[in-house]
Structure 1
């Protein structure tokens, strides 16, 4: 099992998703069988990913050559502490939304569970691959699955949002191919480690071409990550998606952020000569403006789902600031914040759905509506999520923002980073306070709350799984920070990557 461990997070959902399209999963009792199969697959995925993290911590990074075709020519998977952590985070989020969907969301369409598995194939593959073309392939896999999931349940709003989403991503995919062709034409490789060596040997003319290809990839990754000015699609798209889908999509923006960290640290990092840190002058203003745009959007949001979508944009801007600082300490801080923000924004989408189910036609809009049937329970969940996402102690949001701020100390950007993050946090508290007071305190005098559906045990289990993760991250904060520090050091250690890839001889 250890020999092929690196590819299991891709094979498990791929084979599982295919089997769910066949009898007995496609028969009259397909929902019962698919639920059992989905739960088994998610538990297996979490167990394998956690074990993969353990193996990487104990034995170092893993290079897996599919078919034993060695780098730089074969299909190469590279599992370091960063990619293993993100695969585990994906599995954990997938388990939570699968549990939540058992309340009935998975019955709104035939193929919810298979599509979630195929989405996991694309996301985990993007985290594990060490080849830019295979990254493009996994992007397409996750995008095709996301197109189907976004329209899950049907409706005019979902169809319109899905159309915009498809068109934007088709443009992004085209730009990605142009970028790959450009970089392959001058380097002769698409293996990330091999390309990191070859960009240092380019002539002046080819360096300009490489810079153009790298800039095109930034546009692609910025679109996936919802970085300003490519963020406009996200709040509305996430707001109309069904709750489990929106919560699962919280990890998809992190795929774009991860690619920025990986590609522009390894290929265009400090060792890249004239191409070193080529995008840093662009990242700084885009990161700050992303936070500003997301914060303003949160303050202006008409409902809780749109507010959560804008908070995803704020989290992307914060992660880009961590990247722009270009130090292992800042990268480690960003990784901790990434874990927290993904989990808690996913929980907010689920909470918004439960609130909407109990408020009648008002849904989760910030308007006066009838009192909710389980207002106290929903209120506690909302307060926990709000405190966590705003960065208040004792939750992981406070710890995540604190380490990001600390990583900016004694740099030329200290004043900018501290100001923008603290002001954004204050504005987030204001937006969430407004949302909470309207949703829970401004009720009509009618007493028809008994007509509202109660919270399902599956909804409570899925949401509770995400909410409890925030204080647990803070409780074991020292161990988590140690892990992210090691993951960041490994990411910035290019000679170590070349050694694992058996390319160190070529580098010399």
Structure 2
């Protein structure tokens, strides 16, 4: 069977950043403009490819697109698979990457060496993790994205970055070791690394084999809980993301969600209703860990004394909410969680990019301002004495830069706390409605709401309240209390990415209906993975007849 050009789209999100990143390593460090142009073009091409894949899997005829890079039949060869969830994650990653890259071109890509190759290798690892249907290749892509993230975290140098980077590297090396141990145990008991094949073999395992499988899955889960920022493994996240450059931190917000993605994918694929004695394994622990993580993140937001750490704890709140939602194992709850995942990632990315612009107008002691001055020697615009003295009846005109910063800060705060009219409110409303009424918007009178649903509802609402208090307090300190502050110089190339991310959140508010229909279809496929398993196992080789799933 000959493949069309459209059939090869599935390999593009992996091969394109690999080739572009390798090619840019051959260019000298002084050719930053050329590298920036190549990087932007490649990232835009990745976004176009991701949108094309999303349209393909959502068209109705092909719900799971499968590609065999080495043309070996499953389960012996490497397989790539894209369904609605993985396609949505590819689009989200490409959007965040393009906005982060455009922001970085203003200043940050010149703060150190090899920024553009590391950026593309990071995208290669993320895209590969979302597309792979093989556990060992998931480990390979996991290592690729971690190796690139080490360099991106340290990009720009400075003692704060080095300190946070060393902690980050050590923690993730431990996670990689746990990952390899878990994958080895799963292979030893199942005899396969193809995720669809492992799912088929679980139902045929004996009791002792089920125990070994669950032990391996638990060790593997710890590695991804660490990456997702789950308590008590999230001590590294706020300082690491606060020390990273703004474009790197914005891209890292997607990397955190990669841990959530893998947990959702593997828990529902391997431990679904057909898993025999292992059905539902780990769901209660996910719910408990998620609720504790949510509580920890909310308390951390209240205790944070600077904006970067506050946003880091907001990421922990987001991870805790998603982990708790995964513990309910309900298609309706999962659909709401996917909507929340997209909204929170866009909001966190916009907030991380906004932080540096806000810090430019603060005092010399501000952390990010000090790092920016050290790397670039930025000049500050001083407010004219005549403007300071103008306190007549006409009032003081608000500079356009400060107006943008203030409005963007309010928009990010509304999104993260889940207040109307932004899409954060819609996301939390849909999620909590599904938690309290898993059968639909109309509650089942004959069955009571479980206590865990009430606990999660209270914590989600409470975290929104604590986040509102923390962000309002920080907003007063940043925008209201200071006097005689400088007006920051903002470039259009810095303002556009933040505006684009916030505009996408506004679009989600108005297009919540179509978005939810997409996520409901994605959640239904996750909870009934027969099409995914059949699509992977029956993938056709080039020049061979269609395979038949036994």
Cα 1:112–1:27 shift into 2, 3 Å: closer
**Deviation string, structure 1 residues 25-59 (Cα, Å, up to 9, x no partner):** x264x111011111111111111100110011113
Determine if contact 1:304/1:364 at 8 Å carries over to the other structure: no
Please show how residues 42-121 of structure 1 align to structure 2 within 5 Å.
42-58=43-59, 59-121=62-124
Match of 1:494 among 523, 529, 534: 529
Runs of 5+ consecutive residues of structure 2 not aligned to the other structure: 370-381, 384-397, 438-448, 540-546
Does 2:507 align with 1:478? no
| 1:320-350, Cα deviation, whole Å (9 max, x unpaired) | 1221110111111111000001110111111
Cα deviation per residue 1:201-231 (whole Å; 9 max; x = unaligned)? 1111111111110110111110110111111
Q: Mapping of 1:236-251 within 5 angstroms?
A: 236-251=239-254
Work out the CA distance in 1 between the residues paired with 2:453 and 2:182.
34
Partner Cα separation in structure 2 for residue 284 and residue 85 of structure 1:
24
* Residues 1:329 and 1:425: Cα distance change in structure 2 (over 3 Å): same
- The match for 2:482 is 443
Decide whether the 8 Å contact of 1:131 with 1:190 is kept in 2. Answer: yes
Give, in angstroms, the shift of residue 16 of structure 1: 1.2
Instruction: Assess, with a 3 A threshold, how the Cα gap between structure 1 residues 456 and 417 changes in structure 2: closer, same or farther.
Output: same
Give the match for residue 384 of structure 1.
411
Q: Is the 8 A contact 1:302 1:365 kept in 2?
A: no
Instruction: Tell me the equivalent position of 1:423.
Output: 462
**How many Å apart are 1:424 and its aligned residue?**
0.9
Structure 1 position 12, deviation (Å) = 1.5
TM-score scaled by length of structure 1: 0.95
Q: Hey, what does 1:137 align to over in structure 2?
A: 140
Q: Show the counterpart of 1:288.
A: 291
> Against the structure 1 CA distance between its residues 309 and 46, is the aligned structure 2 distance closer, same or farther, given a 3 Å change threshold?
same
- Over aligned residues, Cα RMSD in angstroms? 1.8
Deviation at 1:281, TM superposition (A): 2.0
SS in 1 for 2:25: coil
Q: CA deviation at 1:360?
A: 3.7
Please give the alpha-carbon distance, in whole angstroms, between the structure 2 residues aligned to 1:273 and 1:9: 36
Tell me, yes or no, if the aligned pair for 2:75 and 2:537 is still in contact at 8 Å: no
- Secondary structure of 2:106's aligned partner: coil
Equivalence for 1:395: 422
Q: How far apart, CA to CA, are the structure 2 residues paired with 1:304 and 1:457?
A: 23
In 1, Cα distance between the equivalents of 2:18 and 2:71? Answer: 21
Aligned to 2:436: 409
Structure 2 counterpart of 1:462: 497
Report the equivalent of 1:16: 20
1:407 positional shift? 1.1
Other-structure match for 2:6: 2
What secondary structure is seen at the aligned counterpart in 1 of 2:76? Answer: coil
Question: Offset at 1:506?
Answer: 8.1
Aligned length: 498
Q: For residue 313 of structure 1, what is the aligned residue in structure 2?
A: 316
The 5-angstrom pairing of residues 112-191 of structure 1 reads 112-191=115-194
Matched, 1:32 2:33: yes
Greater share of helix: 1
Within-5 A mapping of 1:354-393? 354-363=357-366, 374-393=401-420
TM-score in terms of structure 2 length: 0.88
Question: Conserved in 2, the CA contact under 8 Å of 1:194 and 1:503?
Answer: no
Structure 1 residues 149 and 422: CA distance shift in structure 2, 3 A: same
Instruction: Check 1:507–1:206 CA distance in 2 against 1; reply closer, same or farther (3 A cut).
Output: farther
SS at 1:78 equivalent: strand
Contact 1:83-1:128 at 8 Å conserved across structures: yes
Q: Deviations along 1:216-269, whole A, 9 cap, x unmatched?
A: 011111011011111111001000101111111000111100010000100112
Kindly tell me: are residues 225 and 27 of structure 1, through their superposed partners in 2, closer, same or farther at Cα, counting changes over 3 Å? closer
Mean CA deviation greater in 219-228 or 356-365: 356-365
8 Å CA contact 1:305, 1:348 repeated in 2:
no
Q: Which residue of 1 aligns with 2:374?
A: none
Using the TM superposition, give the Cα deviation of residue 356 of structure 1 relative to its aligned residue in structure 2, in angstroms: 1.0
